[in-house]
Structure 1
Amino acid sequence: MLRELDEKTGDGSPRPPPGQPYRRTLFGWVRFIVSLAILAILVRSLVIAPFNIPSRSMTPTMLVGDYLFVAKWPYGYSRYSFPFAPEFIHGRIGNGRPDRGEIVVFRSPAVPASSYIKRVIGLPGDRVQMIAGELHLNGEAVARETAPVFAEPVDDAGTCASEPGSNSRLESADDGSLVCYTPRYRETLPGGRSYLVLDAGDSTADTTQEFIVPAGHYFLMGDDRDRSADSRFPAVPGGGIGFVPEENIIGRALVIFWSTDGSASWINPISWFSATRWDRIGSGF
């Protein structure tokens, strides 16, 4: 019996004589591919997963065209950690929970099939309010100081919110290209975590009611405060996200592994390199 097993490979096919190459059987290839697929699902579900930035709501921290890895293990696991969100999983498995200031990927309460990315501002029990464009937490204004203005290239004047009431301004660079300049501030939350936000001007969410975060939920906001549909708005399809249940949180933003400005063309391989924003690759949060 031992000799019989030794003369066969792991997939049951005969082992070739010494000096002859091994050829995997069809069954062996199927088992190999299935094993890789299971391993990929486990890694994506339990360890790390890719995510791309489709909108500007997290500008200036993240830009459209950034690709990042999301860490799954810091907050434990819920049904949304796994493909197809199996309904037999309830709540969260594990004790880790997000802290104020961390950037998380989550499923939208309004459209659970869609994944969003925002910054954690309010924890369960916190009171959150915007007053004249400034963030208040538990009755106190969050520390905010002026930072260097944010300059971003734009394709046309319409993409820079420079109309009356806006804080942004549009200028032409020496080469004739258009640049949009927007005021930028550094906020520092209780506990010391700080980050940069944009203030593009007056918006409907510059002054809000006071929100009290329910147990088991989080209040999330984008860093581009005037162009982010976040917890300041009700959770409706095509609108805001409201309070986000903790089971909807998928993981924590970890590091940017690729970034492109969108100018690449599939038929022009040289443009793949010229469109890459090399300075953003490797940036963490």
Structure 2
Amino acid sequence: MTQTSSPAVPAPNTLRQEFLETLRIAGAGLAIAMTLRIVIFQPFTIPSSSMEPALVIGDYIIVSKFAYGWSRASLPFNPPLPDGRLLGKGAERGDVVVFRLPRDPSQTWIKRVIGLPGDRVRVAGGQVYVNEVPIPQTPLGLTQDHDAPDRTVLQVRERQADGRGYVTYDGGAGQPGDDTESYVVPAGQYFMMGDNRDNSLDSRWSGEVGVGFLPADHIIGEASFVLASWKPGAALYKPWTWLNFQWDRFARPIR
């Protein structure tokens, strides 16, 4: 008769070593992920319609941290570090940037850079002027607002001096923000506007209401591309919505 043997039970020391090794691997992976998030890129989800049509509610975007260098805004929880940015370059007109709201750094907003330090910016009849030169506009026809299909808007292409173009929404004449005073952008700050011009609280409004002037050290990074997009209403706590994708918005560069 052949005698069978029971499988060996790992010694307590072996179990402890395996547990510690698992913790070490998990900790290393978490450290790498956190480093990438702080230094290279960070994901964000778009919660509002202020940057339509470039960005819509439900877009899951990737933001480049190294585009403008790093500041305290680049770090989790916005720690109380000195002002200023480490390395990088300044933002340019037409860039789409994610930033910490000056009046409440716990909030992250996204807008387009319209005015650089020293620029004079004003809006007259919906036309944006920078240093008294109008940003060229080309009407592209009427369409329905992506996030509010019952709203009809005019698509307007704006083109920056360097040739970069982007499309804005115009809700019609006489809207708040269509006519403003002339703003002179202070040193080290930027003038920001949303592409959905009649549905955006931005630098046309004071910091108590909108953005006001945006200090450079509040910038988190440049919005690079839309990785994926979910229809409004999708949420982690609603498993039945996880596959409610907006398929036509996957892997789209942000212009």
| 1:60 and 1:150 in contact (8 A); partners too | no
| 1:4-39 CA distance string (max 9 Å, x none) | xxxxxxxxx87xxxxxxx995222222222222211
Supply the distance in 1 between the matched residues of 2:56 and 2:99 (Cα, whole angstroms). 18
Task: Look up the match of 1:56.
Answer: 49
Q: Does 1:148 align with 2:117?
A: no
Structure 1 unaligned blocks of 5 or more = 1-12, 15-21, 160-177
Residue in structure 2 matching 1:276, options 219, 241, 245: 245
Q: Which amino acid aligns with 1:115?
A: T
Q: Tell me the secondary structure at the aligned position of residue 224 of structure 1.
A: coil
Task: Look up the match of 2:36.
Answer: 43
| 2:52 and 2:146 in contact (8 A); partners too | no
Q: Which amino acid aligns with 1:226?
A: D
Supply the distance in 2 between the matched residues of 1:40 and 1:264 (Cα, whole angstroms). 25
Q: Does 1:241 align with 2:234?
A: no
Q: TM-score when scaled to structure 1? A: 0.78
Structure 2 unaligned blocks of 5 or more = 1-12
| 1:189-227 CA distance string (max 9 Å, x none) | 222121111111222211001111111000010001011
| 1:153 and 1:179 in contact (8 A); partners too | no
Supply the distance in 1 between the matched residues of 2:143 and 2:64 (Cα, whole angstroms). 28
Q: Does 1:189 align with 2:160?
A: yes
Supply the distance in 2 between the matched residues of 1:82 and 1:251 (Cα, whole angstroms). 11
Q: Tell me the secondary structure at the aligned position of residue 37 of structure 1.
A: helix
Task: Look up the match of 1:117.
Answer: 110
Q: Does 1:227 align with 2:199?
A: yes
| 2:70 and 2:88 in contact (8 A); partners too | no
Tell me the matched-pair count: 240
Q: How does 1:1-285 map to 2 (within 5 A)?
A: 24-152=17-145, 179-201=150-172, 202-236=174-208, 239-262=209-232, 264=234, 269=240, 272-273=242-243, 275-285=244-254
Identical positions, percent? 36
Q: 1:205 to 1:152 in 2, by over 3 A?
A: closer
Q: Which amino acid aligns with 2:132?
A: G
| 1:260 and 1:277 in contact (8 A); partners too | yes
